[in-house]
Amino acid sequence: MKAMLINTYGETAKFEATEVDKPKTKEGHVLVKIAASSINTIDLMIRNMGKDLPLSPDLPASLGMDFAGVVEEVGEGVDGYSVGDEVYGCAGGLANLPGTLADYIVADSNLIALKPKNLSMREAAALPLVGITAYEGLTRAGVGEGQKVLIHGGSGGVGHLAVQLAKYFGADVYSTEGDETRLKLVEKLGATTINYKAEAVEDYVAKHTGGAGFDVVFDTVGGPNLTNSFDAAALNGQVATTVSLLEIDLSTVHFKGLSLHVVFMLIPMLNNFKKEKHGEILSKLAKIIEAGHVTPVVDEHKFSLTEAGEAHRFLESGQAIGKVVVEN
C-alpha cells in the first residue's frame, strides 16, 4: 500500500510517497480502507519537534491520527463491526501506532465508532480528535442547562465543536476570536461573539455576566491565555484547557476556588488506558450529529494523500477556516 512517510524531523521534514506492506488484521482490531484523514495541530508538533516530544514515533515516521473509511477485515474478538461498515476514529500516528496518511490502517476497535450517516467521509475524518477533546472538556467541567460558558478560540478545530456541543447541553455560549471572518463563523455557530482584541477581560465579563464571571471557561488557546480564563471565571467556576505546558501563577485559581481540568485526549492511546471511552464518545457524537445539533466545519481547500505536505503547511499558515482534510 501507499503511505506518506517522513525520514527526518524538523524544518527539513518532507513527506514522501512510499510503498509499504499492507498491515495485517489482529485480535481486537479492524482493517480499514482509509477514505480521508484530517491534520491536527499535534501532527505539526510531532513533525517539527520529533523526539523532543515523548509521543513521537521512530523514523521513518508515519503520521496522521484521524480517519474515516470502510472496514475490510474484522479481527478476532471484535464485536459490533462488519465488513463494509463505514467507521471513523483517532487511532494512529504516535508512539508505535502507524499513522493515517496511508491507504489502510489496522485500528483498535475500542478507538472507533460507526460514522455519522449524514456526513461525508471528508467531514467525518475532521471530527475524532477535536470532537473527543471538545466533548471531554465540556463534560468534565459539568456544562449544563442555563450555564454561561465562555470558549476561547471558538472557530478552531476544538472550539467550533465546543460551541455547538455547549449549546446542545443547554448552555448560554460566548466565544472569543480576533478577526471578522472568525467572529462571523462563531456567531453562525450560535455563540455570542467577543473580539478579544477590542475588549478587555474585565469589560466583557461585566458586559455579559454583570461582573460575576462565567460558570465554565473552555480555553482552547491555553498557554499565557490561561490567565485570562482564570480572570473570566466565576467564583467556584470550572476552567478546562487543552494547552497547559507552561509555568503559571495559580493565585487567582486559589482565591476564586476554581477547578482546572486539563484535557489530553491522547492518554488512552499512549497508555492503553480506558480506550473504550473514545469509542463511546464517538458513538455519542454520531447520534448528536445525526440529530442535527453539531456540524463539523471543514476548510474548502482540498488535498490528496500525496499532497500531505501541502496540507501540513496550509494548517501551519493559520489561514485555514475549519479542519484541514486529506482525501485518499
Q: State the SS3 of the chain.
A: CEEEEECCCCCCCCEEEEECCCCCCCCCEEEEEEEEEEECHHHHHHHHHHHHCCCCCCCCEECCCEEEEEEEEECCCCCCCCCCCEEEEECCCECCECCCCECEEEEEHHHEEECCCCCCHHHHHCCHHHHHHHHHHHHHCCCCCCCEEEEECCCCHHHHHHHHHHHHCCCEEEEEECCHHHHHHHHHCCCEEEECCCCCHHHHHHHHHCCCCEEEEEECCCHHHHHHHHHHEEEEEEEEECCCCCCCCCHHHHHHCCEEEECCCCHHHHHCCCCHHHHHHHHHHHHHHHCCCCCCCECCCCEEHHHHHHHHHHHHCCCCCCEEEEEC
Q: Same topology for domains 2-127+272-327 and 130-262, yes or no?
A: no
End-to-end CA distance of the chain: 12
Indicate the domain borders of the chain. 2-127+272-327, 130-262
Measured distance CA(97)–CA(56) in Å, rounded: 10
pLDDT tens for the chain, residues 1 to 328: 999 999 999 989 999 999 999 999 999 999 999 999 999 999 999 999 999 999 999 999 999 999 999 999 999 999 999 999 999 999 999 999 999 999 999 999 999 999 999 999 999 999 999 999 999 999 999 999 999 999 999 999 999 999 999 999 999 999 999 999 999 999 999 999 999 999 999 999 999 999 999 999 999 999 999 999 999 999 999 999 999 999 999 999 999 999 999 999 999 999 999 999 999 999 999 999 999 999 999 999 999 999 999 999 999 999 999 999 999 9
pLDDT in tens, 153-183: 999 999 999 999 999 999 999 999 999 999 9
Contact 42, 66 (CB under 8 A): no
Say what the pLDDT of residue 180 is: 95
Residue 15: the pLDDT is 98
The superfamily in CATH containing domain 130-262 is NAD(P)-binding Rossmann-like Domain (3.40.50.720)
- What CATH code is assigned to 2-127+272-327? 3.90.180.10
Q: Which three cell numbers stand for residue 110?
A: 475500542
